[in-house]
Amino acid sequence: MERQHLVFVYGTLRQGHVNHHLLKDAHCFGMGCTVSNFTLYLISGYPYVSSKENRYTIVGEMYAIDEDTLDKLDKMEGHPRYYVRRETAVIVGGEQYSAWMYFHDPPGMLMPTGDFNDAASVA
């Protein structure tokens, strides 16, 4: 059996967003949030999670993906030159997991709630 990776997505990879097609064959565990506090920014319509400021937990979805899908996500996210993929503790369905998550520390518009779906109310 091929090795599976857990990935926690918070922006355009979430259901209903432009890049979700990359996760079409992945198993979704559901909605959750990070254990630790981070900060969500929005730049030109794209979300970035920064570890520089620790304001709130980040809302997202967790998926089980294969190595090929992880490679595709890394390529799309520009890992490791643009976004950096790090293991992060998340809570999904009342259980704690360690999942990959993409981070970037740019300037941009702060997302006060930590939820990308609230972007329309801030922009």
Per-residue pLDDT of the chain (123 residues; tens, 9 = 90+): 578 999 999 999 999 999 999 999 999 999 999 999 999 988 888 899 998 888 999 999 999 999 999 999 999 999 999 999 999 999 999 999 999 999 998 666 677 788 888 876 655
Count: domains in the chain: 1
Q: Which residue range is the domain that position 62 belongs to?
A: 2-111
What is the predicted pLDDT for the residue at 74? 98
Q: Domain for residue 18, yes or no?
A: yes
Q: Domain for residue 43, yes or no?
A: yes
Q: Domain for residue 65, yes or no?
A: yes
The model's pTM is 0.86
35: number of CA atoms within 13 Å, CB side?
Answer: 11
Q: Domain for residue 117, yes or no?
A: no
Q: Name all contacts of 66-71 with Cβ < 8 Å and 24+ positions apart.
A: 66/2, 66/3, 66/4, 66/5, 67/2, 67/3, 67/5, 69/22, 69/23, 69/25, 69/26, 70/5, 70/7, 70/100
Q: Name all contacts of 96-99 with Cβ < 8 Å and 24+ positions apart.
A: 96/35, 97/6, 97/29, 97/62, 98/6, 99/6, 99/7, 99/8, 99/62
What is the predicted pLDDT for the residue at 123? 53
Tokens 């996500």 belong to 73
What distance lies between CA 27 and its chain's CA centroid?
15
Instruction: List C-alpha distances in Å: 3 to 29, 42, 49, 79.
Output: 17, 33, 26, 20
What is the predicted pLDDT for the residue at 122? 55
Q: Are 41 and 95 in contact (CB under 8 A)?
A: no
What is the predicted pLDDT for the residue at 89? 99
Residues designated catalytic: 77
Q: Domain for residue 13, yes or no?
A: yes
Q: Domain for residue 118, yes or no?
A: no
CATH of the domain at 89: 3.10.490.10
Q: Domain for residue 120, yes or no?
A: no
Q: Domain for residue 119, yes or no?
A: no
